[in-house]
Structure 1
Amino acid sequence: MSYSEYGTLLVRAESRIAWVTIDNPPVNTLDAALAGDLRRFADEAASDDGLDVIVFQSANPEFFSAHADFEWSFDPGSLTALVDADADPALNPLQQLNERLRTLPQVTIAKLRGYARAGGAELAMAADMRFAAADRTWLSQPESLMGIFPGGGGTQYLNRLVGRARALEIVLGAELFDTTVAERYGWINRAMPDESLDAFVDALARRIAGLPKGVTAAAKEALDAAEASGFVPYLAEEAAAHAKVYPSPDDVVERLRVVMDHGGQTRDGELRLERLLESVPWAHRS
């Protein structure tokens, strides 16, 4: 596989490992371009027998992926247009994308630096493992401050990783989590000094890629079967619930326009997104 000609991804594949670098300035927003590239990469990787491990990382040390595109709140049809006709029709396009990534036969690792919020955090959770640079990585699900809740698989993935009580804290509290708490909660596998992260993930990826052929896929199959006996993501239920709040009412959309006017999806605004969202009052609380 050549893994070339992506507009928002840089892909290097060698030694049975693919390093997938998200490069979608200014803040790696999960927009139509990035979603399309990730879907095309997943389609190509799924049939690549010469690939055992995929590492997702960012070209921007400040943002792994800021969140899904705010423009989709203003024009819901632009998100609907991304639907995958070959995927489960009960799921929305972001759920379809994340499930495509989650169910890849390869082991997937998210190497995190910077902010991973909302759709960006859901993208990271779709990976099999997450490792983060300590004190340089922050995770958040601030969708409730936008009048919605995580709808790209987030409620299901969070329950699976951290449990219901902590998932509710993350979703409804809408606060920024540093690596210390995220690691303790199980949101990430491990946090480590920034200068150690690349070498650690590289060594892990190479160990996995060096296993005898078939071991990785068989191990994933066995572990997934064990999980399926207890809990698996029930995304259709999330999709049905999310349809109650998205597309958003006009007053919520207008509030998000104000957020955009004050720095949403710019570097400076995204560095303080939770506070920016809280600074714009709701039109009503009915």
Structure 2
Amino acid sequence: MAYEFQSLAVRVERCVAWVTIDNPPINLFDLVLMRDMDAFGREVENDEAVRAIVFQSANPEFFIAHADIELIQRMPTTPPPRPERPSFFQAMCDRFRTMPKATIAKIEGCARGGGSEFSLSLDMRFAALGRAVLGQPEVAIGIIPGGSGTQRLPRLLGRSRALEIVLGCDDFDAATAERYGYVNRALPPDELGPFVERLAYRIASFPAEAIALAKAAVVAADDLSTTEGLVEEAHNFNLSVATAGAQTRMRRAMELGAQTRDVELTLGALFDGMQGGEP
């Protein structure tokens, strides 16, 4: 599938879609970027050639600056009725949380406001030490995070740290963000790219059905009780066992020495040596 957008450059290689955000001068989340991101999400969600997606920026100073304040200023000053469904922006972000692909943010610059909320909606976030800055500055200008930040942050960081971020409106560097759970890992800039590349290609080498079913089971934990989530996990486990990819890879793992002492001591290396790309 060919992807063509004004503010996004997309390259698909080895089942990984590399999405470079390029909306000068500061990667503002304006209408152009919102429409492109929404269109890309709708298209890639059903692209069987893609198993993992990495978002990165062409601008070393900005991942995504924040949502366009001028757009917000045009909103009605008389509040509309309480909505019955998520907003356009919330739904756009949530699609990347729920789609059957691994979604990853490689953050090397500023990701505040809507940029932070977008990254929080992805499955994983990795940040460059000394360069990445995250935050939710909305309350400082009299509004609140409206792109899912008030819901994502407490689930990831807990109530108190979420409120520190939302009410304090301060910048959080990569090291603090890692300690808080805002990002998965903070890495030196020269190590960030190779780490994310290895992880993305590793995930994409695994069977597509297993990736999708595993992610769906984890996503269920956001919305279901523990008992309901366990039932979902059991169901998805049974579905995964029945796939051709599972049967092939379990057999190959046993042939390569799984369940023997020497191989089990370094089991991750065994998976590096297995051929990927099974359906």
Fold shared per TM-score above 0.5: yes
Distance 1:162 1:59 in 2: 29
TM-score norm. by structure 1 comes to: 0.74
State which structure, 1 or 2, has the greater radius of gyration over its C-alpha atoms.
Answer: 2
Superposition map of 1:40-59 within 5 A = 40-59=39-58
Q: Corresponding residue for 2:159?
A: 164
* Deviation sequence 1:54-79 (CA, Å, 0-9, x none): 001100000001100011132126xx
* Deviation sequence 1:103-151 (CA, Å, 0-9, x none): 2211000000111000010011111000011111010101011101101
Q: Corresponding residue for 2:204?
A: 209
Deviating above 2 A after TM superposition, structure 1's stretches of 4 or more consecutive aligned residues are 225-231
Deviation of the 1:89 alpha carbon: 5.3
Distance 1:89 1:56 in 2: 30
Further displaced range: 216-225 or 106-115? 216-225
Please tell me the residue identity of whatever aligns with 2:152: Y
- The partner residue of 1:103 within 98, 105, 114 is 98
Q: Corresponding residue for 2:183?
A: 188
Distance 1:172 1:226 in 2: 27
Distance 1:206 1:66 in 2: 28
Deviation of the 1:28 alpha carbon: 0.3
Please tell me the residue identity of whatever aligns with 1:106: K
Please tell me the residue identity of whatever aligns with 1:3: Y
* Deviation sequence 1:259-283 (CA, Å, 0-9, x none): xxxxxxxxxxxxxxxxxxxxxxxxx
TM-score norm. by structure 2 comes to: 0.76
- Whether the 8 Å CA contact 2:100–2:213 is kept in 1: the answer is no
- SS of 2:145's partner is coil
- Number of equivalent positions: 220
Distance 1:89 1:120 in 2: 24
Q: Corresponding residue for 1:12?
A: 11
Deviation of the 1:230 alpha carbon: 4.6
Q: Corresponding residue for 1:127?
A: 122
Residue 33 (str. 1) matches residue 32 (str. 2): yes
Distance 2:223 2:84 in 1: 21
* Deviation sequence 1:189-228 (CA, Å, 0-9, x none): 0000000111000000010000123111011012122343
- SS of 1:151's partner is coil
Over the aligned positions, Cα root-mean-square deviation in angstroms equals: 1.4
Point out where structure 1 has 5 or more consecutive residues left out of the alignment. 78-87, 232-286
